[in-house]
């Protein structure tokens, strides 16, 4: 699996795109993912008035933040690759999103243990 990841990552890195275009693609991908998920985030934040469900709502907000990361990664790689068909991009999505997912849920669990949530 890591061999395939290195192979696909190398193919993506071999695409010659300027840093300016990569930055534009990154900003566009983040904005698109925020536009898609801003409605559910606002709805969940408004539900914080129900104090009995704060842990559940915090878990949902954490999951939505992770979805923003995942969607922005998918949009970014699709914008960067453009018309070039690269098989195995899903492996890049999975491995690239493992660390941010672990960090977000780790912060969530830490806040529960400390009693903040």
d(C-alpha 38, C-alpha 67), whole Å: 11
The label of the residue with tokens 């992770």 reads 66
Kind and range of the H or E element at 18?
A: none
The CA radius of gyration of the chain, in Å to the nearest whole number, is 17
- The one-character DSSP state at 15 is S
Mean pLDDT within 9-25: 83
d(C-alpha 52, C-alpha 55), whole Å: 8
pLDDT digits (tens, 9 = 90+) for 90-108: 888 888 888 999 999 999 9
What is the model's pLDDT at position 22?
86
The label of the residue with tokens 């493992």 reads 98
User: Would the pLDDT of 15 be above 90?
Assistant: no
Name the percent of the chain lying above pLDDT 90: 50
pLDDT digits (tens, 9 = 90+) for 59-74: 999 999 999 999 999 8
């Amino acid at each position: 699996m890591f061999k395939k990841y290195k192979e696909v990552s190398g193919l993506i890195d071999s695409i010659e795109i300027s840093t300016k275009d990569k930055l534009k693609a990154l900003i566009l991908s983040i904005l698109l993912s925020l536009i898609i998920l801003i409605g559910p985030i606002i709805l969940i934040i408004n539900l914080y008035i129900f104090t009995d469900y704060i842990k559940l709502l915090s878990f949902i907000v954490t999951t939505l933040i992770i979805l923003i990361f995942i969607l922005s990664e998918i949009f970014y790689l699709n914008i960067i690759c453009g018309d070039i068909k690269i098989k195995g991009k899903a492996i890049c999505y999975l491995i690239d999103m493992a660390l941010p997912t672990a960090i977000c849920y780790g912060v969530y669990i830490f806040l529960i243990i400390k009693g903040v949530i």
